[in-house]
Amino acid sequence: MIHDDVEEVLLTDAQIRTRVAELGAQLSQDFDGRDPVLVSVLKGSIIFLADLVRAMEIPLSVDLMEVSSYGASTESSGQVRILKDLSRPIEGRHVVVVEDIIDTGLTLNYLLRYLRDKGPASLGICCLLDKPARRLAPIEIDYRGFTIPDRFVIGYGLDYDERYRNLPYIGVLRPSVYGASAAPE
């Protein structure tokens, strides 16, 4: 069972549902009448995005991007690649980047520069998890779900080697699963 690989449940399903509803209400209030585009960074944030847009009660659009800097590792390679770009122009639109987790900030920093070059009216960030202990690039987070400690987390869309995304909670992965010598996310 995949639950056996979880050392500790950091955030329960109920805690996540409550906070996502609060974020959706806040975004609905802040973007009322502005028809925002929520840009999800695949794959990890797709579950968060789905729940977030269901919690919003305003007209909005969704677009998807896929960027990679991890591969099958637990640590960022430092090289960012865009694997899937936006499907529609964002020039003049209010854009909110929806992220599952922000740790070093390097990948997101690259993505924000890339999106700013496309001329949005505004560009904000909504993340489920903020891990500031590992921050290497300055990132201003507009909407934050939870601040978490420097632990390797899985579940609710977050994975290790494409596994554990289907856990309904955020859990800490047992170090024995990814090797004791490997660094956390």
Domain boundaries, the chain: 2-69+85-174
Q: What is the CATH number of domain 2-69+85-174?
A: 3.40.50.2020
User: Is 103 a catalytic site residue?
Assistant: yes
Q: Is the pTM of this model over 0.85?
A: yes
The pLDDT tens digits for 122-160 are 999 999 999 999 899 999 999 999 999 999 999 999 999
Catalytic option among 5, 100, 103, 159:
103
Task: List all residues 6 or more positions away from 48 whose beta carbon is below 8 Å from its beta carbon.
Answer: 20, 40, 98, 100, 128, 145, 156, 157
Q: Are 125 and 97 in contact (CB under 8 A)?
A: yes
For the chain, give percent helix, strand, coil, nearest 5. Answer: 25, 30, 45
Alpha helices in 31-75 (DSSP H): 46-54
Tokens 């797709």 found at? 46
The pLDDT tens digits for 39-98 are 998 899 999 999 999 999 999 999 999 987 755 555 555 678 899 999 999 999 999 999
